[in-house]
Amino acid sequence: MTYEQLLTALRQKARTEQRDGYEFIVKPIPDSEEGWGELDPRVLQVHQETAARMQGQTFPPVPEDPVEFAQMMRKMMGWENRDVTGGAVKTECREIEGSETKIPVRIYTPPVEGKRPAVVFFHGGGFIGGSLKTVENPCKCLAYHAGAVVVSVDYRLAPEHPYPAGLTDCFDAVRWVHDHADELGVDPEQIAVAGDSAGGNLSTVCALMDRDKQTNLIQYQVLIYPTVNMAGAEVEGYKWSLDNYEIRNHREYIERALGFMGSGERKGPQLHDLYLQGRAEVTDPYMSPLLADLHGMPDTLIITGEFDFLRFENEAYARKLARSGVNTTVIQYNGVDHAFMDKIGQYPQAEDCMTEIAKGVRRRFGR
């Protein structure tokens, strides 16, 4: 199949069901007979190439210094990807005034006239890494298909800037978009937040803050494989286990990725320790929103992968949101693992993910 045929197959083969009060959409592997239980061929290729590069290599010891550890991890993050919009989206780099510091942002404006929705986007990276560059092409794709202005936020990172510095920057950015709606050409009543992984956490915590402060800024949240249970609490039917994943093929690669990220046996400092540094408990709802009261949260779209180590806490979050009266949809992409969005232009699931988010934004705001 060509790349375009794979995109078409993802749309045509999607299955929808009602599950625990929310809409659950499964996107099978587009060119697999079974469509589940194994890695997508493009994901498998990346795993195989990575394993081949690492074979026989010796690695330096993990730094004990938190800043050195973060710097090492940052070098490993991100993925080269491409603009799938054909250059149709305008990009502007700016610094905005936050309550504590200036915040760099990139603003992506689609070729659409009139007042548009706004999506404030927070990149992933475990609260210690990630960059605007990695998510630039996904943000362009979202802006183009949603007809929305996307504001990507370069919030402060731990450990140099521990909690709540990054979160403060993110909420400040939402306020700034609302206050500068006319300048941006957006409707101040049509603001969404979105983010991947740690950025998904920051998105939904911003929505919690918006509800708690009664500022009523955020009308829609899109959470791309978000971390919502940093405490690892066994609540809402959630308990992480490798046995929860149904694996038919490629077990070696799948178990290696899931075991490394899901078991808590990673070497080096724990990400939540680098982020919190004693300034809050890991059970704080603004750290582990799965433990929060979720009544009054905005309509929600959650994106996850069949072999994402956060998949089951994402499903638990969807259940709790739905039970709290929140209109919730989950889209699961089979055959992919964590951070698949970074590979837009290589994985068809990444582009389809952004177009599905765009559809959600259009639907929520009647576009």
What's residue 12's pLDDT?
Answer: 97
| Residue 308 annotated in active site | yes
Show the beta-strand stretches assigned E in 98-179: 102-109, 116-122, 149-153
Separation of alpha carbons 36 and 167, rounded Å: 36
What's residue 260's pLDDT?
Answer: 59
Please name which of 196, 50, 62 lies closest in space to residue 126, comparing C-alpha atoms: 196
In this structure, which amino acid lies at residue 221? Q
| Residue 197 annotated in active site | yes
Separation of alpha carbons 282 and 116, rounded Å: 37
What's residue 264's pLDDT?
Answer: 42
| Residue 178 annotated in active site | no
Widest CA span in the chain: 57
Domain spans in the chain, listed from the N-terminal domain onward = 3-49+78-364
Alpha helices in 237-347 (DSSP H): 251-262, 271-276, 311-323
For tokens 């582990």, the residue is: 288
pTM of the model: 0.96
Alpha helices in 225-310 (DSSP H): 251-262, 271-276
What's residue 58's pLDDT?
Answer: 80
What's residue 277's pLDDT?
Answer: 95
Q: State the number of CA atoms in the 13 A half-sphere of 81 facing the CB.
A: 28
What residues contact residue 308 under an 8 Å CB cut-off, 6+ apart? 225, 314, 336, 337, 338
What's residue 303's pLDDT?
Answer: 98
What's residue 263's pLDDT?
Answer: 44
Catalytic residue among 250, 337, 338, 342: 338
Catalytic residue among 32, 197, 203, 288: 197
Separation of alpha carbons 90 and 213, rounded Å: 33
Residue-wise pLDDT tens digits, 190-207:
999 999 999 999 999 999
What's residue 27's pLDDT?
Answer: 98
What's residue 66's pLDDT?
Answer: 92
CATH number of 3-49+78-364: 3.40.50.1820
What's residue 330's pLDDT?
Answer: 98
Question: Which regions of the chain are under pLDDT 70?
Answer: 260-269
DSSP reduced 3-state for 29: coil
Tokens of 316: 């638990």
Catalytic residue among 308, 337, 342, 352: 308
Separation of alpha carbons 149 and 90, rounded Å: 10
What's residue 109's pLDDT?
Answer: 98
Tokens of 228: 């919502």
CA distances from 356 to 34, 125, 330 (A): 23, 22, 11
Separation of alpha carbons 241 and 243, rounded Å: 5
What's residue 64's pLDDT?
Answer: 87
